[in-house]
Amino acid sequence: MKKTLWSLGVVVSALFVLSSCSPLKVSFSSSERQKIEECALISTYLSIQLPVLPLIDAAVMNEKTRSMSNEINLLFEESIDGMREKVASLIKGRLNCSVIYGEALHQRPGFAAFKEKNNPAGVLVTGVDDFPEVISATDDVNPFMFENGNIAKYFKEPSNYRSTVIDICKELDINYIIVTHTQLSPSPGSILLPATLFNLTSVYLFDRNGTLLASGKNTLFIRYRATEFEGFEQALDIHEATVAPIIDKIADRYGN
């Protein structure tokens, strides 16, 4: 029975990987369509999600991934600001709007005071040994009360974020804000498939009323040897290709 279930799991995994290289999903609120002239990219996040199934295969892969944790964490820290830069450039180009981010955002009137009051400690802690924190871009504010670094779960419930978003927009005198999160997720190989490293990127667009106007996610993957650090570099190299289709969909509705 266990062998049958394991075989079924392998087949399902194979179908998932081979069926589509880009499961793009973008959802919009029911609010009236509007054109975005200016927005702020306030938070850019990067993290890793270790597999839990199949139990034995996941344990083996996790041991290999953890053995490279120092290199992976350093790679994340060195890459995150460039990812913020690329996302801002895509938003600016595809929506044809002004994007405030990085140093320009940090120097904006109201930002320092807001960050001082709304940058709680511990919200990016994952509770995972070797990968203890979600990485964020330099000097960005992290005002959302994530639990165990679970960003996707947090943004599913409007009561979690609405008042915070309203405060951000008010303090920064901005009508729209954007948050992005990229998660690398290794998947064990099998007889049928090599190891796979997924790049799952999400984009969240909010208005000054605290409404989540758009929520998009997209996944691309590479195949790699689980013992080779270069796979994580390659997975980050496809970040632009992963996030661009999300921004294109958002631009279709809110671009100029």
What pLDDT, on the 0 to 100 scale, is given for residue 4? 39
Q: Give me the half-sphere count of Cα atoms (radius 13 Å) on the Cβ side of residue 253.
A: 17
Strand partners, 200: 183, 219
Could you give the domains of the chain? 21-254 (3.40.50.10610)
What pLDDT, on the 0 to 100 scale, is given for residue 44? 98
Inter-residue contact 61 to 154 (CB < 8 Å): no
Inter-residue contact 181 to 151 (CB < 8 Å): yes
What pLDDT, on the 0 to 100 scale, is given for residue 249? 97
What pLDDT, on the 0 to 100 scale, is given for residue 22? 54
What pLDDT, on the 0 to 100 scale, is given for residue 158? 97
pTM for this prediction: 0.90
* Burial category of 135 from C-beta neighbours within 10 Å (exposed 0-12, middle 13-18, buried 19 and up): buried
What pLDDT, on the 0 to 100 scale, is given for residue 19? 41
What pLDDT, on the 0 to 100 scale, is given for residue 181? 98
What pLDDT, on the 0 to 100 scale, is given for residue 237? 98
If you search the block for the tokens 């997924």, which residue do you land on?
198
Q: Which residues of the chain have pLDDT under 50?
A: 1-21
- Cα–Cα distance between 45 and 167 in angstroms, integer? 20
What pLDDT, on the 0 to 100 scale, is given for residue 33? 83
Inter-residue contact 236 to 184 (CB < 8 Å): yes
